[in-house]
Amino acid sequence: MIKVLRTEEEIRGFRENLKKRSTDPDFAVERTVRTIINEVKTGGDEAVKSYTLRLDCDEAPYYRVPDEVIARCLEEADDEFISSLKRCAYNIAAFHEKQMDEGFCVTEKNGVIVGQRVRPLDKVGIYVPGGTAAYPSSVLMTAIPAKTAGVGEIIMVTPPRKNGTPNPDIMAAAKLCGVDKVFLCGGAQAVAALAYGTAEIPKVAKIVGPGNVYVTMAKKLLFGLVDIDMIAGPSEILIIADKTANPSYIAADLLSQAEHDVLASSVLITDSDEIAAKTARELEKQLEELPRKGMIKSSLINYGAAIVVGNMDEAVALTEEIAPEHCEVLAENPLEYIGRLNNIGSLFLGEYSPEPLGDYFAGPNHVLPTNGTARFFSPLGVDSFYKKSGYVYYPESALKAAAKDVALIAGREDLTAHANAVKIRIKEGLF
C-alpha cells in the first residue's frame, strides 16, 4: 500500500507528484470562483443568501446567528466537551501571549527619534468549515490569537448544516473565544462578502482559516483587496525515524494525517530498512480498524511513502528540501533536532508528542504552511493580526547632518524633487 523508496530517481519522482496536489491550476474552479465573487460584489447579501440556499441547505432560519442562539449552544453543550475545549483554549492562549510585540522607540544623542508602532487590525474574518466537516478547533486556533493581538471585531463565517442551523460545537467554541458576530454562509461567497463588505457582513482587513478549494481560490483572488493568512494546500506529515522508533506509533501518526483528505500526504524518512518494512505492515494492520479506510488508503497509495536514506543527516537534509507542514522526530535524542530543522511548519519531538497534540491541545497554532511553503511562510500567530508602522522625528541639526547623503542618493536616482525637499529646509550653503 505504501511505497518504499530508496533511489534518487524514485524520491525525485515522488516529490514531483506531491507538488501536483496544489500547484496545478484548476481553471474551472477559478472561473467559478470569479463568477461568485462578481455576483457578491454587485448583489451583496442577497447573492450570498442565494448561494447558501443553493449549495448548503433548503431553508435558513437566520443569516446572522442570534447571540442568544450562540449562548444557548454553549449552555447546552456537554460538560466534558466544554472542559476539554477550555483546557485547549488555555494552552493556546498561554502560548500565543508570549508572541506579543509592543514595538519600540529609540532616542539618539543628536535628538533623533525613531520607532515602530504595533497596532491590531480593526476587523478580522475567520472562516470555519461547518457543514459535513465541522472543526471547533479551528475556531480556537484563529480567534484566540486575534483576541490576544487586540483585534477590534472578529467576524466568523461558517456554512449551515443541511437543516439551515449552525453546528452547535462551532457555536460553543465561538462563544468561548469571544467571537463578535457569526454569519451562516460558506464557500467563495462568504470570503467575498468579508472582503468587500455587505449591508450586513462587515468588511474586514484580513481573512484567516481553512477551507475547501473554492475558499482557497477566493482568498487567493481577493488577496490585495484584503489580507489573508496563506494559500493552504492539502495537509501533510513527515516523520523522521531512526532504528529506535516504534513502528506502530509511526503508522498511527501517518494514518492520522491521511484521514484528512485523499490529497493528504504522509511520509516516513528513516535510515532503517527494518523500520520501513515494519511500518508498512503496521499501516495495513491499523487501517482495517479505521472508519475512513477508503479515503486513507487512496491518500497513502498516491501520496504516501517510506523513504530509506543512508543516515539521519540525509534524513534532515531531505526534510529541509521538502519543507513539510507537520514534522515528527521519533529518534533516540529528539531534542537535538530543534536547531537542525528550519523549514517546517510545526515540529513534534519524541514518541509521546504525536501530531494531534498540535491540532488541538499543546498551544502552537495548527494553521500552518503547506506544500513546501514552510521555506518562507510562518504559522498563524499573534503577529498575523498586527500591522506595523515606523515613525521619525529629526531636529534641524540632525537634518543638516544627513542632508548631503539624502540629496546625493536622491540625485543618483534622478529624483530631484526628493533632494529639494531636503535642500529647501537647509539655509546654509551645504550644497
The rounded distance, in Å, linking the Cα atoms of 234 and 108 is 50
Residue 23 pLDDT more than 60? no
Distance of CA 14 to the CA centre of its chain: 25
Alpha carbons within 13 angstroms on the beta-carbon side of residue 45 total 11
Average pLDDT of 163-170? 95
The residue ranges of every structural domain in the chain are 27-111+119-228, 233-376, 394-431
* Residue whose grid cell is 514518541: 351
Confidence of residue 19 (pLDDT cuts 50, 70, 90): confident
Lowest-confidence region among 40-49, 132-141, 188-197, 217-226: 132-141
Which residue in 326, 328, 351, 366 is the catalytic one? 326
**CATH fold for domain 27-111+119-228:** Rossmann fold (3.40.50)
Grade residue 192 by pLDDT with cuts at 50, 70 and 90: very high
In this predicted structure, the answer to whether residue 22 has a pLDDT above a threshold of 90 is no
From the CB of residue 115, how many other CB atoms can be counted at a distance below 10 Å?
14
List 39, 236, 282, 325, catalytic entry: 325
Looking at residue 430, its pLDDT comes to: 64
Verify whether residue 325 is a known catalytic residue. yes
The interaxial angle of helices 79-97 and 168-177, nearest 10 deg, is 40
Instruction: Output the pLDDT for position 24.
Output: 59
**pLDDT confidence bin for 429, thresholds 50/70/90:** low
Residue 130: pLDDT band (50, 70, 90) is confident
Same fold, 27-111+119-228 and 233-376: yes
**Which fold does the domain 233-376 belong to in CATH?**
Rossmann fold (3.40.50)
